[in-house]
A and B are shown apart, each in its own frame.
Chain A
């Protein structure tokens, strides 16, 4: 148990569906992240949030829409996805934003949502 919980664990959706991924952290952290991991590819950083403010968007298509209502919750809203978006979506948190003036932040990951787009 890492203190980061993601739901659902598995999700199958059609290309016209709208769905949302949820992440909750119980660690009192200030920063949260979304990563995408496609089969046999490295993890790709998608979004970075610090105290509910988005501080990074790594050229992610607009069909992925993040939302961070408070520092404990992070959502990823999905709409009109493509089959190539099928992947493991991972949420992570850290005490403060890694990569800023703090290079010793440790990331705590959830178990991920395995997404299949048909």
Chain B
């Protein structure tokens, strides 16, 4: 089971770029890396997913180095509304009931954006 490690919390100010790094040393060859955002009392929301190099969408960018043992979620010019918990998930191959890496949410990173 691929295990992920993220900082527990981060603070930022409005307008800054925020980078959250996730370590996944045991990532398997076919695993994707997926990030979710969760606001209090709501379900997590998909942000971005990648396999290698760089992925960018309208919300964020995801940087994955060549060895894929880590990934960095980049949020450009954060606002107060970006205050949330951010989760990094890495999938495993294992068949039904085997490994569920991309279903397992850790503690995530609690990002607090201040004015």
Contacts and interface: CB of A to CB of B under 8 A. Distances in A.
A13 B88 CA distance: 34
Interface of A: 2, 4, 33, 35, 42-43, 45, 48, 50, 55-56, 88, 90-92, 97-112, 114
B105 interface: yes
B99 interface: yes
A101 B43 contact: no
B45 A99 contact: no
B43 A112 contact: yes
A103 B96 contact: no
B100 A98 contact: yes
B65 interface: no
Nearest to A6: B43
- Main secondary structure, interface of B, reads loop
A99 B91 contact: yes
B93 interface: yes
Ranked nearest first, the 6 interchain pairs of A and B with the lowest CB-CB distance are A109-B43, A103-B91, A99-B100, A104-B32, A43-B105, A55-B96
B43 A103 contact: no
Interface stretch (B13-21, B34-42, B74-82): B34-42
B81 to A, nearest CB: 17
A25 B101 CA distance: 23
A43 B31 CA distance: 21
Contacts of A107: 36, 44, 46, 103
Given A43-B105, A56-B97, A99-B101, 10 more contacts: A42-B107, A45-B103, A55-B96, A90-B43, A98-B103, A103-B30, A103-B31, A106-B49, A109-B44, A112-B43
